[in-house]
Structure 1
């Protein structure tokens, strides 16, 4: 395994300064945003697609710092009912897959998207209750008319470029649990898998270790984000899991993000890493820091310090003691 970081954290740094900084911390892999929600501070997709010499120089700089690119990320909503949102998101995903192929990066991360509830809707509709039955009708329409047709097409595109698509299981989007992930994968193809982030599982009441077993059994984990979450039970009793309190109002939220080790202890993270290895994941653990109690540098540094002791660097080739 390699320890990586999602470099959106360092959007205020130049590309060169970012490379120098993360490599000095012992990071071995970088995940780069190409646009959408993560922005494109360190990866100008049109420039790199149109200029091979610039692309080669870009790739060389990364290699010179002893780094690899674990994934290109373009998180957005390509199924948004307003084309002013969905069309640029779709175009960005296509370009990101093309760039990943040119850079020999195996994974593109994004969200599944969330459609509206009918063709003329203006906003996404995220059904989370099976009753009243209207919600079931919305969900059926979304999957049959929007999700499956769209991701079948993108699965074919990704396979043609030898790329895997990592969908982050995130609330507010149609694919947000292991079950919805596997449903989409079965319907659309094996290029689609998870960019698994435990932080979004914990607040939904999902055990990340068990999620890894479910997805790992189907070879459906393409990438991994390392981010933590803390649950505030008194606020949970009042607001529930689907808490709409603003992220900045942490005192009143049911749950909020923490850097690795500040929501769950090191043994929990050791179990997560070990289960990833047990189920065949031997790729990058990419730190994502969205802790509202720590600065960028402190939160990132503490995540590195907490993950280094539990990351599995050397895979077993044989049971030597037998």
Structure 2
């Protein structure tokens, strides 16, 4: 296992500067953010031009990796693949395919994203919609030897009522997405704050965990008590 970080935390720096800093700090890998552009959200950045990735882009990237000794653990494009607006969903789908194509060219094993959710539908309705809309992406990736890894982030901000906006927040839903051919980008921090013991999720799904993320997380007993009191 190699220690790295997601480059989205440094949206204003080019990839070569990030890579040089990473090596100096002892990192061995980068999960490279590949959104179309850097927008106003704090989890997105654009560090490889996957749409229209040229031979020159590939050469520069390979030279950077050779020079620094870093590897790319995954390409990152965490978006709502069940977005309710058809045009937006198609745009996301197209860009995700560009990311998959670029990963294949660079010999990167995986691309990270979200399942997402259409907030107009129930969970069951979203599962049925996902069974129609998502297999094409899995097939596109499989034909190129790339795995699509789904992060188990709740993304409650994507739902107007604060419900989970990414249908991968619970192990009860992982089985469904595994049946579709997805893999897991396992992040224990998201499990902890929704009351799931992350350690209990490792052994049953070890063969589907391709990539992992980690963040500091702390559960405040005082805050939990205050929330419970106000809701009573």
Q: Do both share a fold (TM > 0.5)?
A: yes
Task: Give distance in 1, aligned partners of 2:45 and 2:219.
Answer: 32
Tell me if structure 2 keeps the 8 A contact 1:198–1:228: no
The equivalent residue for 1:167 is 150
Say which structure, 1 or 2, has more relative contact order (CA 8 Å, 6+ apart).
1
Deviation of 1:215 after TM superposition, in Å, equals 1.2
The equivalent residue for 1:79 is 82
Secondary structure of 2:26's partner?
A: coil
The equivalent residue for 2:169 is 176
Gaps of 5+ in 2: 155-164
Aligned length: 214
The equivalent residue for 1:67 is 70
Task: Give distance in 1, aligned partners of 2:95 and 2:189.
Answer: 26
- Bigger CA radius of gyration: 1
Deviation of 1:155 after TM superposition, in Å, equals 1.6
Task: Give distance in 2, aligned partners of 1:214 and 1:227.
Answer: 22
After the TM superposition, list the runs of 4 or more consecutive aligned residues in structure 1 that deviate by more than 6 angstroms: none
Task: Give distance in 2, aligned partners of 1:108 and 1:16.
Answer: 20
Task: Give distance in 1, aligned partners of 2:84 and 2:101.
Answer: 25
Offset from partner CA, 1:12-33 (integer Å, 9 cap, x none)? 2222211110110111100001
Tell me if structure 1 keeps the 8 A contact 2:6–2:30: yes
What is the TM-score of this pair, normalised by structure 1? 0.63
The equivalent residue for 1:139 is 123
The equivalent residue for 2:196 is 206
Deviation of 1:84 after TM superposition, in Å, equals 4.1
Deviation of 1:221 after TM superposition, in Å, equals 0.4
Which sits farther off after the overlay, 192-201 or 227-236? 227-236
Task: Give distance in 1, aligned partners of 2:183 and 2:123.
Answer: 21
Secondary structure of 1:239's partner?
A: helix
Tell me if structure 2 keeps the 8 A contact 1:178–1:214: no
How large is the Cα RMSD of the aligned pairs? Answer: 1.8
Secondary structure of 1:140's partner?
A: helix
What is the TM-score of this pair, normalised by structure 2? 0.86
Task: Give distance in 1, aligned partners of 2:183 and 2:11.
Answer: 27
Secondary structure of 1:69's partner?
A: strand
Offset from partner CA, 1:115-165 (integer Å, 9 cap, x none)? 1335xxxxxxxxxxxxxxxxxxx2222211x11222222221111011111
Task: Give distance in 1, aligned partners of 2:87 and 2:223.
Answer: 37
Gaps of 5+ in 1: 119-137, 244-322
The equivalent residue for 1:46 is 51
